[in-house]
């Protein structure tokens, strides 16, 4: 008897960790992971989808455990040669990872949707749960810094998050259609929980919520919406979350993240050190995921907390 579908929203390395935990405690057909595509970009003539690929590799057990993105057991002949030829080598593409970008670029150019390509790649790599983009239409996160507007990967990788973030924009979001299977799942009346993974709210979760129709479908899906804070002990676990908060004039706290999601949340899971002035229903639990057991334990905590809210 299915307990219903868990729909997880994920972007970046942190989100993929909880998605893995959820995939280990749920039957594959009871988990659907919605991936942020705002990080996507065209680079060296290739269509690159970092958050989809991070989720795919992590759920397939092929991820690079050190970086959290790209593949393990990589070789770097392509990058070495690109460098020698004076090409752009700031975005590291391993030889195995490169094959995925080349094949995806060809299939997208032939008219396949991002969902079709992602579904086939996941099947071929043995990923059980559904991994779907938030939209098959183009949405791109852009960052306004003191030097003007820059593309996300230029900010995040080429400039290593050094520019001061004044504003974020999700270009294309207003015209983007939510991914149809995701909408059908949310409107299907069989959702057990919506889980907002501990991703950067600004660059990983808000792009997903910016796709017209998605936020309302989540709000009206009839199941509890539970977020896990990406802040532990007042600091971001990884990436530029804390730096962005400071630059946007926000307190670096779990409360700030909850505030970004507003009344969408039915529950919020924070680490013991962060249960500050938060009005949402709180559950205090360890949220740092270092081991596989941590990932599974947090997944169980999230599902039990969501169940207590139904
Ligand atoms: N992040 C980096 O910091 N440096 C890189 O060279 C890099 C390459 C890369 C290649 C493929 C891929 O799927 C992700 C990659 N990332 C890299 C991560 C990427 O920037 C993501 O956008 C972040 O994980 C945030 O979501």
pLDDT value at residue 176: 98
Check pLDDT > 80 for residue 277.
no
pLDDT value at residue 1: 59
pLDDT value at residue 233: 86
- Rounded to whole angstroms, the Cα distance separating 38 from 289 reads 24
Provide the 3-class DSSP secondary structure of residue 63.
strand
Backbone φ and ψ of 129, nearest 5°: -65, 160
Sequence length of the chain is 310
- Taking phi over 0 as left and psi of -120 to 50 as alpha, with beta for the rest, 121 belongs to alpha
pLDDT value at residue 236: 85
Quick one: pLDDT band at residue 275, thresholds 50, 70, 90? confident
> Domains in the chain, ordered, with CATH?
5-138+178-308 (3.40.50.10680)
- Taking phi over 0 as left and psi of -120 to 50 as alpha, with beta for the rest, 64 belongs to beta
CA of residue 265 to ligand 1 center, whole Å = 29
Closest atom of ligand 1 to CA, residue 91: 6
SS3 breakdown of the chain: % helix, strand, coil, rounded to 5? 45, 20, 35
- Across the range 66-79, mean pLDDT stands at 97
Closest atom of ligand 1 to CA, residue 13: 24
- Rounded to whole angstroms, the Cα distance separating 93 from 91 reads 6
CA of residue 79 to ligand 1 center, whole Å = 14
Q: Residue with the nearest Cα to atom 25 of ligand 1? A: 12
- Across the range 67-72, mean pLDDT stands at 97
Closest atom of ligand 1 to CA, residue 239: 25
The pTM of this model reads: 0.97
- Across the range 147-169, mean pLDDT stands at 97
Q: For all residues of the chain together, what is the average pLDDT?
A: 96
Check pLDDT > 70 for residue 200.
yes
- Across the range 136-163, mean pLDDT stands at 98
Pocket of ligand 1 (CB under 6 A): 11-13, 39, 50-51, 53-54, 69-70, 91-93, 97, 153, 156-157
Nearest to 230 by CA among 239, 222, 221: 239
pLDDT value at residue 17: 98
CA of residue 68 to ligand 1 center, whole Å = 9
DSSP alpha helices (H): ranges in the chain? 12-25, 50-60, 77-84, 95-109, 114-124, 152-153, 180-186, 206-209, 214-219, 241-247, 254-261, 292-309
- Across the range 262-271, mean pLDDT stands at 96
Backbone φ and ψ of 44, nearest 5°: 55, 30
* Sign of the CA dihedral with 303 first, then 308, 305, and 254 last: positive
For the ranges 68-72, 154-158, 229-233, 243-247, the lowest mean pLDDT is seen at 229-233
- Rounded to whole angstroms, the Cα distance separating 79 from 85 reads 10
pLDDT value at residue 79: 98
- Across the range 216-245, mean pLDDT stands at 94
Q: Which two tokens mark 295?
A: 């990932």
Contact 287, 298 (CB under 8 A): yes
Backbone φ and ψ of 145, nearest 5°: -115, -175
According to DSSP, the residues that pair with 150 across neighbouring strands are: 143
């Amino acid at each position: 008897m299915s307990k219903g579908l868990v729909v997880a929203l994920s972007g970046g390395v942190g989100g993929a960790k909880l998605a893995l935990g959820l995939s280990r405690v749920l039957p594959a057909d009871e988990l659907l992971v919605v991936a942020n595509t705002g990080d996507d970009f065209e680079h060296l003539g290739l269509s690159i989808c970092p958050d989809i690929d991070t989720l795919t590799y992590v759920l397939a057990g092929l991820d690079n455990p050190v970086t959290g993105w790209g593949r393990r057991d990589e070789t770097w002949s392509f990058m070495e040669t690109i460098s020698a030829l004076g090409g752009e080598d700031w975005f590291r593409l391993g030889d195995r990872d490169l094959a995925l970008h080349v094949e995806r670029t060809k299939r997208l150019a032939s008219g396949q949707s991002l969902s079709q390509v992602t579904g086939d790649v996941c099947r071929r790599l043995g990923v059980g749960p559904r991994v779907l983009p938030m939209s098959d239409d183009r949405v791109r996160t852009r960052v306004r810094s003191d030097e003007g507007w820059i593309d996300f990967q230029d900010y995040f990788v080429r400039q290593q998050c050094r520019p001061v973030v004044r504003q974020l924009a999700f270009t294309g979001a207003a015209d983007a259609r939510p991914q149809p299977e995701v909408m059908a799942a949310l409107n299907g009346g069989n959702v057990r929980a919506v889980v907002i993974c501990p991703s950067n709210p600004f660059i990983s979760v808000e792009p997903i919520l910016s796709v017209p129709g998605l936020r309302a479908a989540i709000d009206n899906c009839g199941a509890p919406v539970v977020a896990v804070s990406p802040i532990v002990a007042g600091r971001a676990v990884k990436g530029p979350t804390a730096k962005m908060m400071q630059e946007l004039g926000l307190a670096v706290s779990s409360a700030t993240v909850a505030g970004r999601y507003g009344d969408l949340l039915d529950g919020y899971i924070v680490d013991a050190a962060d249960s500050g002035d938060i009005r949402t229903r709180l559950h205090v639990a360890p949220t740092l995921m270092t081991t596989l057991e941590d990932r599974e334990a947090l997944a169980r905590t999230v599902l039990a907390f969501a169940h207590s809210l139904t």
